[in-house]
Amino acid sequence: MRVLVLQHIACEPPGVFEDVLLERGAELERVELDEGEALPGSLAGVDAIVAMGGPMSVNDEAEHPWLVAEKSLIAQAVRGGLPFWGSCLGVQLLASSLGAQVRQGAAPEVGVLPVHATADAAADPVFAGLSWPRPTLQWHQDTFDLPEGATLLATSPAYPHQAFRVGRVAYGVQFHVEIDAGMADEWAQVPAYIASADAVLGPGGLDRLLADFRASMGEMQADGRTLFSRWVDLWA
């Protein structure tokens, strides 16, 4: 199977999600949009799309004009029934591409924080059966409205829209359960991520965040593998 991976910064690859895909023999076509790499001219032969995170907002089209084409491609893919998985910026791109508003939240949500399942998650083939709430890494300041016809699957006190499904095979999650220790250390060098951590956690907060992440990393990666594998099972 051929999977199109949309990246927006080098330090946010698919992590555990990529491990699952490679174990299943997938061929990954990686496009680093922030580096000027071009989207494919056609989705012919693409079996699924995975869109990852990044420090920009989906609304930063003046600064990052490639966002316009990316959102158009995602809308085309999802409306055509192509499997889609979006994480953090990726879920915001999914929402925006389907006509929902993305905007800055009241305050950044940063830290290892619990995410709760909604009632609809109990019947969802990807989210059902886990022992909610689950620990997740949160590192964002934007939120989104739900697109028309979406099913909300996960929530948190600060950011009620944490995960949703559109149709049968398009999923997005605001939280991170895919990263390893090396990726977290790289994120701690990104100015936009440092600024949001300092704003929320105060002096020394970044070190505490990284320590909390390492303490829960194994559990979060296991959840990431479970959720993503179930999604792949829906279409592979």
**From 8, 140, 161, 176, the catalytic residue:** 176
Q: How far apart are CA 87 and CA 14, in angstroms?
A: 9
**From 18, 70, 109, 178, the catalytic residue:** 178
* Contact yes or no for 106/124 (Cβ under 8 A): no
Return the closest-CA partner of residue 26 out of 5, 8, 42: 5
Asked if 11 is an active-site residue, the reply is no
Q: How far apart are CA 207 and CA 228, in angstroms?
A: 29
Q: Which amino acid is at 160?
A: P
Asked if 176 is an active-site residue, the reply is yes
Q: Which amino acid is at 80?
A: G
* Contact yes or no for 17/226 (Cβ under 8 A): no
Tell me which residue has tokens 């600060």: 158
User: Across the strands, what pairs with 103?
Assistant: 143
**From 8, 11, 12, 88, the catalytic residue:** 88
Catalytic residues: 88, 176, 178
